Amino acid sequence: MIPPIASRFVAGESPAAALDHVDDLNDQGVKAILNLLGEHYEERPPADEDAAAYEDLVRDISGSGLDACISVKPSQIGLDVGDDVFAENLADIAAVADEHGVFTWVDMEDHETTDATLDAFEDLTTEYEGGVGVCVQANLKRTEEDLERLADLPGKVRLVKGAYDEPRELAYKNKERVNEAYRTYLKFMFQEFDDGVAVGSHDPEMIALARDLHDEYGTDYEIQMLMGVRDDAQVELAAEDVEVWQYVPYGDKWFSYFYRRAMERKENMLFALRAVLGR
Ligand code: FAD
């Protein structure tokens, strides 16, 4: 069982617990992106197992009538075993998701995975006419070129600042430089993307910029935030008719995810400490 301390960031261990959380979210006008926790499998069996779990989840989402989609990590479904294993598993998930009318997102991991992830995305989003989305990272210098390629494809793209510690020659390391890249890429996406823009950020400045760009260019957009981070803002934005999606992790591999969330900000760490101390 997930201790109450972690349940701010993780919806539960089972798909049923995650869907219960989605039900509450949908009642508040927020949609859900479900992520089964797991990454960096070096053998094929656990990768195949998680791919099958995503296919079951898609069937559960479809049967529940809830407003939810899925987001998959490449190394969770076989990228560390081989590009072909990842591509095969992602194709199987996307086929079942398409059959059930559920959208599939592909998360982006460190720079060594970018080419394989974008290639698999391109194949599938072309096949399913935009039923698949991919994440790109503003801290990577290559993203400017990747966005040019993505602008010609169907499917949604989520822009994030980037969560991985990348080498200096490949990535902006300075926070303000990453923010500048984020603003530039967001503007490009609102100008050039036909299938909408996904703003994967908690940053009030980037969210305000997205609203301004929407007013200027008319492009559809959605805000995506993590479970447990600015939850009130998510509900408030949804009440203002902004499309808001909450990224909802679940599963038994919750500890390292919870630890990362708790450590990344002082407020989160204090929250975790208070929960441990019971005050
Ligand atoms: P930051 O630059 O961290 O902070 C900017 C401002 O946002 C802060 O000053 C504050 O006002 C507000 N803020 C940020 N965090 C908090 C908080 N905890 N509490 C209160 N206010 C806060 N990264 C990847 O590399 N690959 C992925 O596939 C990926 N998918 C993601 C999916 C979603 C839905 C989201 C939201 C993020 C994802 N990320 C991913 C992580 C992302 O790259 C960033 O590391 C993360 O979102 C932090 O950047 P930020 O833009 O939210 O804000």
Query: How many independent structural domains does the chain possess?
Result: 1
121: domain CATH number is 3.20.20.220
Instruction: Give the number of other CB atoms < 10 A from CB of residue 200.
Output: 25
Q: Is residue 19 a part of any domain in this protein?
A: yes
**Residues facing residue 132 across a β-bridge:** 104
Residue nearest to atom 8 of ligand 1 (CA): 203
Ligand 1 touching residue 135 (CB < 6 A): yes
Distance CA 270, CA 50 (A): 33
Ligand 1 touching residue 229 (CB < 6 A): yes
Q: Is residue 8 a part of any domain in this protein?
A: no
Confidence at residue 278, expressed as pLDDT on a 0 to 100 scale: 58
Distance CA 213, CA 217 (A): 6
What's the gap in Å between 52 CA and the centre of ligand 1? 29
Q: Is residue 25 a part of any domain in this protein?
A: yes
Q: Is residue 126 a part of any domain in this protein?
A: yes
Q: Is residue 7 a part of any domain in this protein?
A: no
- Return all residues near 238 (Cβ < 8 A) that are at least 6 apart: 28, 29, 30, 244
Residue nearest to atom 41 of ligand 1 (CA): 163
Q: Is residue 59 a part of any domain in this protein?
A: yes
Range of the domain at 45: 15-277
| Per-residue pLDDT tens listing for the chain (279 residues) | 888 888 999 999 999 999 999 999 999 999 999 999 999 999 999 999 999 999 999 999 999 999 999 999 999 999 999 999 999 999 999 999 999 999 999 999 999 999 999 999 999 999 999 999 999 999 999 999 999 999 999 999 999 999 999 999 999 999 999 999 999 999 999 999 999 899 999 999 999 999 999 999 999 999 999 999 999 999 999 999 999 999 999 999 999 898 888 888 766 666 666 666 555
Catalytic residue numbers, as ranges? 107, 158
Q: Is residue 6 a part of any domain in this protein?
A: no
Q: What is the Cα Rg of the chain in Å?
A: 18
Give the H or E element holding residue 190.
helix 175-192
